[in-house]
Chains A and B, each alone.
Chain A
Amino acid sequence: DQQVKQNSPSLSVQEGRISILNCDYTNSMFDYFLWYKKYPAEGPTFLISISSIKDKNEDGRFTVFLNKSAKHLSLHIVPSQPGDSAVYFCAASGKNNFNKFYFGSGTKLNVKP
């Protein structure tokens, strides 16, 4: 039973435009959410996070939005660059669980020059 879902396996965007990656979760006890980026032959690297007390967190070109009522998370990349082409995983965690994360299945982003 997947508690974190990424329903789009892939996304293709033109360089300079906005990329929007989506993630849904089912467990209302989750209170910490993250996005990871993964290049081929490398491990996932942490990109940005948000706690449930916020609905938006921004870091440069990357913004994460959290809609708790809809149990929905999204990552916006503006403007998109070819170097952003990678697989993006969302993850979620609840309290008092030794930092265990539940990961989505990933969305492969392709930014075309």
Chain B
Amino acid sequence: DAGVIQSPRHEVTEMGQEVTLRCKPISGHNSLFWYRQTMMRGLELLIYFNNNVPIDDSGMPEDRFSAKMPNASFSTLKIQPSEPRDSAVYFCASSFSTFGNQPQHFGDGTRLSIL
């Protein structure tokens, strides 16, 4: 059983560049979540989708951040332009949320470094 797949695993880029993080959720899951982990703030929820529709993007820090889910098997988180303070580990998680609460399943994250 394939879990949540994130790519790339590591990204190092220069300030000002566009960064695109990718996520493939577990097949059959209908909710998808993007998180950012930092030492200061722990796991922050950035945005989540249900049935490919963005439900709540109040955690997105700035307009430089955007996320899309064009279909049930793919989502992207984009940062444009990137800044050094965006350096963090970004996680994608998915779950099946139609019948009450279920655990979210996480990918292994993308470690992003903005120089």
A8 within 8 A of B: no
A34 to B105 alpha-carbon distance, docked (Å): 12
In the complex, how many residues of chain B place their beta carbon closer than 8 angstroms to a beta carbon of chain A? 26
Interchain nearest-CB distance for B21 vs A (Å): 13
14 A-B residue pairs with CB within 8 Å: A41-B108, A42-B109, A43-B106, A43-B107, A44-B91, A46-B105, A93-B101, A98-B48, A99-B95, A103-B45, A104-B42, A105-B41, A105-B42, A105-B43
B56 within 8 A of A: yes
B82 within 8 A of A: no
A101 to B31 alpha-carbon distance, docked (Å): 12
B98-115 near A? 1/0 per residue, CB < 8 Å: 001111111111000000
Chain A: number of interface residues, binned into ranges: 20 to 34
Please provide the chain B residues from 7 to 56 with a CB less than 8 Å away from any CB of chain A in the complex.
31, 33, 35, 41-43, 45, 48, 50, 55-56
**Contact present for A100 and B42 (CB under 8 Å):** no
Residues of A within 8 A of B48 (CB): 98, 100
Closest to A32 in B: B101
Residues of B within 8 A of A31 (CB): 101
A87 to B48 alpha-carbon distance, docked (Å): 24
**Contact present for A101 and B50 (CB under 8 Å):** no
Write the residues of chain B forming the contact surface with A, with a CB cutoff of 8 angstroms: 4, 31, 33, 35, 41-43, 45, 48, 50, 55-56, 91, 93, 95, 97, 100-109
A41 to B107 alpha-carbon distance, docked (Å): 11
A45 within 8 A of B: yes
**Contact present for A43 and B103 (CB under 8 Å):** no
Interchain nearest-CB distance for A77 vs B (Å): 18
A89 within 8 A of B: yes
Given contacts A43-B91, A99-B31, A99-B97, contact A106 B42 (CB under 8 A): yes
